[in-house]
A and B are shown apart, each in its own frame.
Chain A
Amino acid sequence: MTNAQIFEEYSGKLPENLLEEIKLKVPKRISKDKLKKILDLAVEEYEQSLVEPGEAVGLIAAQSIGEPATQMTLNTKHFSGVAEMNVTLGLPRIIEVVDARKTLSTPSMNIYLKPPYDKASKEEVKNFANRIKETHLNEIATQIDVDLADQKVEITLDMDKIKALELKQTVIKKAIKKQIRGLSEKDIVFEKDKIVLKIPESLSKEQEVDPIFKIKEKIKDVVVGGIHNITQVLPVLENGEYVIKTAGSNLKAVLALDFVDPSRTITNNIFEIYDVLGIEAARQAIFNEIYSLIEQQGLNVDGRHIQLISDAMCVSGKISGITRYGIIKSKSSALSRAAFETPIRHLTEAALSGEVDEFKSVNDRVMVNGILPVGTGLVEISMDLTKLNQGGDANEE
């Protein structure tokens, strides 16, 4: 028997990648006996590390994350984030991820650049970054005047800035038209370094207050360039290339940019990942977020606990947080739901729809002082009564 054959023999007992690892690490000229011994030991170790039937994996995952989380609240050391960028970290952020909040306290992105742009100089990257950053009209304007007599708003533009941001007249025009109601294209006229807005009479008649002042204020906030929602950009040198860190997130729009590397660019907004890349990506994103958060605090939690949580949050095909509106809602037992939060609401709703509780979950069994369906409580003895009779009557003897 060759060594290859021995490996073949164990292929069912050990997972492929483990076998491969042993193959690589074992010396080339190893005796068959020794190899067998090693493999037997590996099998023993492997089988010992398997989760046994009836192990409360969910609860252990919860404990494994919950225990370090209590330390995180006590560790009041403040990590002020990467280079001036304010990012929520630690326990508040974990809660945010696990609850699957739709609006984040600090949404942010890490934008990587595609080759050849990844070798770009700092100046060039800054330029890219500024193109990503949401630009409001008042940032490129030097002056905004109101002409009451002619019902006009005159915006004096900073042409150097416009050049730097590579903004085109048509784009600005479109943006204004889109974001301010009641203005048609012919009302927006470019004059050298000025935009003149003519307020149509239809607008002035509609409202009692002169709409021109309203428009003057509104026009300042018109987004003329960059990507919506990205309010801050900061190029940071990481591992020899520039990464653009942002405050604010818009994955879909950023991925569409030609200089962005779509395979590495990432956001911390799980819902955006779900919308753009799908549930599997979202699942991985949840895992990555929680794992890195715990790691940053210098704590050590086995990744499989976090995998279980991210799996549980994504099984339904949608992201559901560990809240009474998310995962808990999908519990079949009304009593379990009532035990989590807002018991009265859950109980009345269950009563209205005439729910039946099977008393199969751990929570329910605790309530009625039953045997919990975990560990030793999971197994039941079954007996073949026909065979019992074959043994004869004990009293006969």
Chain B
Amino acid sequence: MVDVYLNGKFVGSTDDAQCFVEKFRSLRRSGKVDATVSISYDEVHDSVFIEADSGRVMRPLIVVKDGKPLLTDEHIKKLEKGEISWDDLIKQGIIEYLDASEEENALVAITPEDLTEKHTHLEIAPFGIFGWAGSLVPDINHSPGARMSVGAKNQKQAVGVYALNYNIRFDMDVHTLHYPQKPIFKTATEDVSGIDYHPVGQNVVVAVGTYLGYNMEDAIVINRGSIDRGFGRSHYYRVESTEELKYPGGLHDTITIPDKDVLGYRSEYDYRYLEEDGIISPEVHVAENDVLVGKVSPPRFLSAGEEYELLSEGDRESSVYLKHGEKGIVDSVIITESSEGNKMVKIKIRDLKIPEIGDKFISRHGQKGVVGLIVDPEDMPFTESGIVPDIIFSHNSLPSRMTFSHMIEMIAGKVGALNGRFVDGTPFESESEFDLRKELQELGFRENGVETMYNPVTGEMYKVTIFIGSMYYLRLKHLVSNKIQARARGPVQILTRQPTEGRSREGGLRLGEMEKDAFVAHGAAMVLKERFSSDNTTIPVCENCGNIAVYDVIKDRAYCPVCGDKSNVVFVQTSYAFKLFLDELKSMQILPRLGLDKKV
């Protein structure tokens, strides 16, 4: 007896598992069971699992019977004419969806030629084995699998046009590319997926070589001329929003220009862009600390109002302002209503991002790199025909990663650009490299893509020929301008008096425990003390009893509350964290006493 489980729950058992599973599948193929229900026989557990849950990744395959695919030329003709659709094929059980566990029961042929009696399914196209994103990488069957993963993963981070109505959408943290282009060397997935309608990259001329060492360790050198002509230019959009919240007791926030007596009033300068309604207007250039929406909130604790009348008499300032390091132009402003019916303001800020040193770029083959240098066009090497590369890519990125598809694309792109046509790079089915080379030769170039180039400074011919071609480059959304961080002085945390953490809070970079160890290992005791002095304080200590004393600023007098007049208070230099630690000890009923040495 074999147990049968439905969505992980035991529902019954069967004598002949194989027969049961096959019958179930034929029911599904005839449309009596939903196409997304999977059934599989697990040999290890000797049980049958039927899965209808959501969240299972499924992929379509052509059903094979007796070594012959059910999908015939007739179907394809009808499909081309539009007489039948994909859904019809599924209803007829010609194509079915398998999930991961049902795949374990299947033997899938990659091409029709591979089919034998044993096979149960056939790939719709051979490149299907790479998956949707993986097959966007052209000729990836020539590169290691790891590179496909990197390439596919990074294409998702590429800057493109994410939605054609981006102009009226209020999405947070999005980028749009200015001049997107279709790739010259493209795969069939490109056409099928519709990514052609909103491409994510641009075709550029790439030379493989060095440029004064500025492209080592995966960096790339970019031509300033290309950037000026629009290569990699993009806009970055972020949304700030606020809402007039309602509080118990009829109190509510007010969107307005705050009065000067409001608690936490910033400065008149910070509110300068606000219009009468307290909201900024579009097309204003804003930078950090500029208020976008002026807002005041009622006091936080109502019951304590009487007690702290002086402090919380008025309203609090709670405006929306640009945080540290942010800048841009107000793109659009909308005033609307939240789901609770409160007045809500959303402000979209756009910022032009021109490629700069530190921005991340990638080819589709997992060859990612960061801009190491931007070179004026006159300082870029040029070919005999006067072509100046847009990007100089380091040859050292090639041997260890073995991305042959990257190099094939350079040749294919060159052929495509010169002949004014797209080149098919669908994995397994692409135009042959041999033919491309031949075509390149017919165009009057060397068949291996190599060209003689000239030194831009001296005008001399380089002694070596340089591999140069056209390929598709993507700008990734990781921009330095959104990540750069540095600090010398700045805000500290209230509790520990140590510097704040994080870019948006103008924070420092922590010198952590292991970094401390490195200093100790070098015996650099004084440097370490200096670096740990960020929260240095002087605390009054009573020599008599060892407790922390009190310093009265008004009377300029230090005294110990325990010893009174007999106290002998000295000032001790230590970290504020230690003082806090002593306080915490006291809170756990442990009294720490400091015994002081005479030596200072």
Interface residue total, chain A, C-beta cutoff 8 A: 26
A191 to B464, CA, bound (A): 96
Q: Are B523 and A375 in contact (CB under 8 A)?
A: yes
B-side residues, CB < 8 A to A, are: 516-518, 520-526, 528-529, 532-533, 535-536, 573-575, 577-578, 581, 585, 588, 590-591, 595
Determine which of B518, B528, B578 lies in contact with A367 in the assembled complex, contact meaning CB atoms within 8 Å: B578
Chain B residues with Cβ below 8 Å from A59 are 517, 520-521
Chain B residues with Cβ below 8 Å from A371 are 525-526, 529
A366 to B577, CA, bound (A): 10
Which residues 373-397 of A have a CB within 8 angstroms of B?
373-378
Q: Are B575 and A368 in contact (CB under 8 A)?
A: yes
**How distant is B490 from chain A, measured CB to nearest CB, in Å?**
19
A156 to B282, CA, bound (A): 98
A-side residues, CB < 8 A to B, are: 54-56, 59-60, 62-63, 344, 347-348, 351, 356, 362, 366-378
New A-B pairs, 20, CB < 8 Å, besides A344-B588, A369-B574, A376-B525: A54-B523, A56-B523, A59-B520, A62-B517, A63-B518, A347-B588, A356-B595, A367-B575, A367-B581, A368-B574, A369-B532, A369-B535, A369-B578, A371-B529, A373-B525, A374-B523, A374-B525, A375-B522, A375-B525, A378-B523
Minimum CB distance partner of A379 in chain B: B525
Chain A residues with Cβ below 8 Å from B577 are 367
Chain B residues with Cβ below 8 Å from A374 are 520, 523, 525
Chain A residues with Cβ below 8 Å from B528 are 366, 372
Chain A residues with Cβ below 8 Å from B526 are 371, 376-377
A142 to B298, CA, bound (A): 89
Chain A residues with Cβ below 8 Å from B516 are 366
Interface of B is mostly: helix
Determine which of B518, B529, B585, B595 lies in contact with A372 in the assembled complex, contact meaning CB atoms within 8 Å: B529
Q: What are 25 A-B interface contacts by the 8 Å CB criterion?
A: A54-B523, A56-B523, A59-B517, A59-B521, A62-B517, A347-B585, A351-B590, A362-B520, A367-B575, A367-B577, A367-B578, A367-B581, A368-B574, A369-B529, A369-B533, A369-B573, A370-B529, A370-B574, A371-B529, A373-B525, A374-B523, A374-B525, A375-B522, A376-B525, A377-B525
| Top 4 closest pairs, chain A to chain B, by CB | A375-B523, A377-B525, A369-B575, A351-B590
Chain A residues with Cβ below 8 Å from B588 are 344, 347-348
A347 to B589, CA, bound (A): 11
Chain A residues with Cβ below 8 Å from B574 are 368-370
**How distant is B541 from chain A, measured CB to nearest CB, in Å?**
12
Q: Are B523 and A63 in contact (CB under 8 A)?
A: no
A374 to B527, CA, bound (A): 12
Chain A residues with Cβ below 8 Å from B591 are 351
Chain B residues with Cβ below 8 Å from A370 are 529, 574
Q: Are B523 and A55 in contact (CB under 8 A)?
A: yes
**How distant is A358 from chain B, measured CB to nearest CB, in Å?**
9
Chain A residues with Cβ below 8 Å from B524 are 375-376
Chain A residues with Cβ below 8 Å from B578 are 367-369
**How distant is B290 from chain A, measured CB to nearest CB, in Å?**
38
Minimum CB distance partner of A62 in chain B: B517
**How distant is B524 from chain A, measured CB to nearest CB, in Å?**
6
Chain A residues with Cβ below 8 Å from B517 are 59, 62-63
A348 to B518, CA, bound (A): 32
Q: Are A56 and B536 in contact (CB under 8 A)?
A: no
Chain B residues with Cβ below 8 Å from A344 are 588
Q: Are A372 and B525 in contact (CB under 8 A)?
A: yes
A107 to B516, CA, bound (A): 38
**How distant is A369 from chain B, measured CB to nearest CB, in Å?**
4
A366 to B591, CA, bound (A): 21
**How distant is B89 from chain A, measured CB to nearest CB, in Å?**
43
**How distant is B574 from chain A, measured CB to nearest CB, in Å?**
5
Q: Are A348 and B521 in contact (CB under 8 A)?
A: no
A365 to B533, CA, bound (A): 12
